[in-house]
Amino acid sequence: MLIGSRPAAPDIPGTVTTRSEATYLEILPAGATKGAALRALAAAEGVPWRRWPPSVTTPTTST
């Protein structure tokens, strides 16, 4: 546990740092996101990928 001022996040090339809580420092590869992980998992498991929500078309009514 650190007491006192919070230290600066390290500057590591190719990474992104973020704090999800005051005491949690996360260091991630650049470009690593939940969306990217989900797309990779879907591809690895052979699950078709589509954006959500799907585009919705509203029926037209003639007057």
C-alpha torsion angle, residues 46, 47, 50, 52 (rounded to 10): -150
Q: How far is CA 53 from CA 16, 28, 49, 56, 57, in A?
A: 29, 28, 12, 8, 12
**pTM, entire model:** 0.46
> Among the residues of the chain, which ranges form H helices?
34-45
Averaged over successive runs of 10 residues, the pLDDT of the chain (63 residues) comes to 64 87 85 86 86 62 59
